[in-house]
Amino acid sequence: MLDLRGYGPSLMEGALVTIQLAFMSLALALTLGLLGATAKLSGSRVMRYGATAYTTVIRGVPDLVMMLLLFYGGQVTINALSDYLYDAHNIDFFYQFNPFISGVLTIGLIFGAYMTETFRGAFLAVDKGQIEAARAYGFTRWHAFRRVMLPQMLRHALPGLGNNWQVLLKTTALVSIIGLTDMVRIAEQAAKSERAPFLFFIPVALVYLALTAGSELFIRWLDKRANAGVAREG
Amino acid sequence: MPEFITQWLDQHEIFNTLTILHYWDGLVTTVQLTFLSLIVGLIVAVPLALLRASGKWYLSGPVWLYTYLFRGTPLLIQLYIIYYGIAQVPGIQDTFWWVIFSEPFYPALLAFTLNTAAYTTEIIRGAITSTPRGEIEAAKAYGMSWWQRTRRIVLPSASRRCVQAYANEVIFMLHASAIASVVTIIDLTGAARDIYSRYYAPFEAFIAVALIYMALTFTLVYGFRRLERHLLRHQRPVGQA
């Protein structure tokens, strides 16, 4: 049996932190992606330019730099804010920016940009006549979106979503760099103090492999379901 | 340098000549790490992709396992395993390899190369397997051997189809190279972290470096777009420049 020299339980906890981080970031990314895609396809020029600026900047900057900027910059901003509040209004307020929140914010922000592109393409792939028909039947705009647009759009978005999720999952490892005690950080500390890098990093790599492999199966299943009513080509 | 720039640099608290030089060194390291690993990765990936597309399980199986392992785990873990693990290889500290691998640059280069080779192999494999059947049949009809077909028809044809995906991989690698800074390499991100901790100025330090990365990224995107236009020029409608 694998002897993790007493680090087993904390590695397990770290794995849970990684999974929580991934899911919360995904939720934020999906929200931002839907908003971004709506903005990109909207009639307002300001919204379109805003969304384009967002996706362009995110694609140009490495994840890690973004994360460092948000984590250290966020703390400086909050410190300045609390100084100001104390001086001006005598309000005593202090907030320690934590790595988990910074991680969720950064990963959510980055993958929100990729989701924007995915959703934009998927929205465009749905026939316009579908929405027009729904509106003609007296659906409200919201109902037409929820009942007609969303289910059809998801079918086109799924492959892209799946890819983004796989990349997101692996990006969570970076949050250990700003000090989150996820499984990567615990493995790093254990590997250093026990002088046994393979013993700790290989199990962590296998957990990631299991997560990506499991996701792949799940996405394939979802894809099959979403395409249930569609005749396959060829 | 023009005088007004040197004057501005002398006066500026953070972006003085020393920090600019530090960023410059970081830029050189980032470019070296990224492009060396990409070049070696590409050279390794072509034969691997041919094996992977060979259709014989004993050739494609091992390559599949390699790409699956490297694409299914984070690059950071791969870097840690190689960086911390290499010192643990029995006896390595007595050989000349230790001279090379005791510096963090080379373990990082190895990790990045293995990673990008895995992704590139799959990109090229995809392009090879989507070669139109007719092209291969025509080559066979001309009596070309496997090697002649591969060299004259399959690889040139595949290379056109993988430019876009490969461009993404290049940019991914440029961005991924930022993690070199966690194993004490002073690349662009490492330089920014130094400047941050020296002046406690996160916005200046990281926004400056973000802009440099953006400039690099969009130059590459532009270059690849030109390359793709050039490679696919035979598909453009007649009469268009």
Residue numbers in A near B199 (CB within 8 A):
none
Does the pLDDT value for residue A24 go beyond 90?
Answer: yes
- In this prediction, residues B104-108 reach a mean pLDDT of 92
To the nearest whole Å, the CA of A148 is away from the closest chain B CA by 33
Question: Which chain B residues in 184-213 lie under 8 Å from chain A, judged by CB atoms?
Answer: 189, 192-193, 196, 200, 202-203, 206-207, 209-210, 213
State whether B206 and A170 contact (CB < 8 Å).
no
Does the pLDDT value for residue A233 go beyond 60?
Answer: no
pLDDT value of residue B239: 67
ipTM: 0.89
pLDDT value of residue B240: 59
Q: What is the 3-state secondary structure (H, E, C) of chain A?
A: CCCCCCCHHHHHHHHHHHHHHHHHHHHHHHHHHHHHHHHHCCCCHHHHHHHHHHHHHHHHCCHHHHHHHHHHHHHHHHHHHHHHHHHHHCCCCCCCCCHHHHHHHHHHHHHHHHHHHHHHHHHHHCCHHHHHHHHHCCCCHHHHHHHHHHHHHHHHHHHHHHHHHHHHHHHHHHHHHHCCCCHHHHHHHHHHHHCCHHHHHHHHHHHHHHHHHHHHHHHHHHHHHHCCCCCCCC
CATH topology classification for A8-226? MetI-like fold (1.10.3720)
pLDDT value of residue B16: 77
Q: How many CB pairs under 8 A join A and B?
A: 111
State whether A61 and B213 contact (CB < 8 Å).
yes
pLDDT value of residue B236: 78
Interval B60-80: pLDDT, tens: 999 999 999 999 999 999 999
* pTM reported for the whole predicted model: 0.90
Q: Which of A67-81, A153-167, B106-120, B201-215 has the lowest mean pLDDT?
A: A67-81
- In this prediction, residues B209-236 reach a mean pLDDT of 92
Q: Is B179 on the interface with A (CB under 8 A)?
A: yes
Within 10 angstroms of residue B92's Cβ, the number of other Cβ atoms is 14
pLDDT value of residue A80: 84
- In this prediction, residues A59-76 reach a mean pLDDT of 91
Query: What percentage of chain B has pLDDT greater than the value 90?
Result: 69
Does the pLDDT value for residue A234 go beyond 70?
Answer: no
Amino acid (one-letter) located at B157: S
Does the pLDDT value for residue B137 go beyond 90?
Answer: yes
Q: Is A209 on the interface with B (CB under 8 A)?
A: yes
State whether B192 and A68 contact (CB < 8 Å).
yes
- Range ranked top by mean pLDDT from A129-133, B23-27, B39-43: B39-43
State whether B174 and A59 contact (CB < 8 Å).
no
Does the pLDDT value for residue B11 go beyond 90?
Answer: no
A1 pLDDT tier (thresholds 50, 70, 90): low
Start-end of H helices in B86-201: 97-101, 105-129, 133-141, 146-149, 155-161, 163-176, 188-199
Among chain A residues, the shortest Cα distance to B193 is held by A68
- Domain residue extents for chain B: 17-230
- In this prediction, residues A108-135 reach a mean pLDDT of 92
A232 pLDDT tier (thresholds 50, 70, 90): low
State whether B200 and A201 contact (CB < 8 Å).
no
- Using CB atoms, which residue from B81, B176, B217 is nearest to A197? B81
Does the pLDDT value for residue B133 go beyond 80?
Answer: yes
Question: Which chain B residues in 53-82 lie under 8 Å from chain A, judged by CB atoms?
Answer: 69, 72-78, 80-81
CATH topology classification for B17-230? MetI-like fold (1.10.3720)
Does the pLDDT value for residue B202 go beyond 60?
Answer: yes
- Domain residue extents for chain A: 8-226
pLDDT value of residue A78: 85
Question: Which chain B residues in 71-130 lie under 8 Å from chain A, judged by CB atoms?
Answer: 72-78, 80-81, 84-85, 88
State whether B217 and A63 contact (CB < 8 Å).
no
A173 pLDDT tier (thresholds 50, 70, 90): very high
- Using CB atoms, which residue from A68, A205, A212 is nearest to B193? A68
pLDDT value of residue B119: 96
Does the pLDDT value for residue B88 go beyond 60?
Answer: yes
